Structure 1
Amino acid sequence: MYQSMHQQQGPGRGRKQHRPQYGPRRPKHNVPVNIEHTDGGFEARIFCVGFPKDRIQITLTNNVIYISGTRQPEHPEPDFMLQEYPVKSFERWFELSDQVDQQAISARFEEGILIIQAPVKPEARGPEREVPIQ
């Protein structure tokens, strides 16, 4: 269903020089995503904890689904020792397979998880048949 088109930034971008490096740092605009194949198509679960539902936007254009979110941080200039989840905003985009029925894509928000369901077109499913072994 989805082919990631997201290019990650290098580790340490924007990190203050006096801090030790604890390992690669996630880009500020990245949120974890799980994508699974279901009976009727595909399901993406995007970890958006702390982002209000009304501040998340999903846009479809040219076989690409674009997901973004914004929020106001608790402190205007947080001073992190380590940052692993976005504070102000995120954005993810994925290329959709030709098999996905873009008109039937739906989304819901449950306990900080954005769930996007992308059903496969009926003609892409094809009939099931048994293959004989010779």
Structure 2
Amino acid sequence: MRTAFDFSPLYRNTVGFDRFAALLDNAAQSSNNTNNYPPYDIETTGENTYAITIAAAGFAESELDITSESGMLVVKGKKEKTNEERKYLYQGIAFRSFERKFQLADHVKVTGANLENGLLRIDLLKEIPEAMKPKKISINSKNLLDQRA
């Protein structure tokens, strides 16, 4: 069941957050389609650094694909079918393919990935361009007094 949200109060007090409603709608939609495989963690590792850790036990590096494009990080795991026939008494390990998508904020880029002990760690860095960093604006009141005289 989808719940409609009224974002008009948000738009009265903000400028340039046009994508915000779409992001919230996508988040609500993806939470309705809960797929918990494989489990993952998102952590902050510093002031502008982050890491996503995905439990990819049983996957080789060649079976994992990581792409980043237009603010979307996509991690895919494709398990190849084996011709080996096995007779399980109990099968609890899920060797199935997966696809995980993460919406990245502006200026967040992937800096590396590492697969160790069945955990895929993707490192992210938020680099704010110099032009977008806060600047001190000086007040020039002296010129106003000179113009009046």
- Name the TM tier (shorter chain): 0.5 to 0.7
Counterpart of 1:15 in structure 2 is none
Moved over 4 A (4+): 3-10, 73-83
Q: More strand by proportion, 1 or 2?
A: 1
Structure 1 residue 81, shift from structure 2 partner: 7.7
- Corresponding residue to 1:120 among 109, 113, 126: 126
User: Residues of 1 paired with 2:117 and 2:123: CA distance?
Assistant: 17
Counterpart of 1:67 in structure 2 is 75
Counterpart of 1:31 in structure 2 is 38
Structure 1 vs Structure 2: percent identity of aligned residues?
A: 23
Counterpart of 2:53 in structure 1 is 45
SS in 2 for 1:105: strand
CA deviation map 1:60-102 (0-9, x unaligned)? 122100001122366779989886x6422111001001141x2
Q: Runs of 5+ in structure 1 lacking a partner?
A: 11-26, 128-134
Counterpart of 1:13 in structure 2 is none
The 1:47/1:80 distance shift into structure 2, 3 A limit, reads farther
Counterpart of 1:57 in structure 2 is 65
Counterpart of 2:105 in structure 1 is 97
Contact 1:51–1:112 under 8 Å retained in 2? yes
Structure 1 residue 110, shift from structure 2 partner: 0.7
User: What is the TM-score of this pair, normalised by structure 2?
Assistant: 0.55
User: Residues of 2 paired with 1:71 and 1:120: CA distance?
Assistant: 32
User: What is the TM-score of this pair, normalised by structure 1?
Assistant: 0.60
Contact 1:109–1:115 under 8 Å retained in 2? yes
Contact 1:71–1:87 under 8 Å retained in 2? yes
Rg larger for: 2
Higher RCO structure (Cα 8 Å, ≥6 apart) = 1
Q: What one-letter code is carried by the residue in structure 1 that aligns with 2:114?
A: R
Structure 1 residue 59, shift from structure 2 partner: 0.8
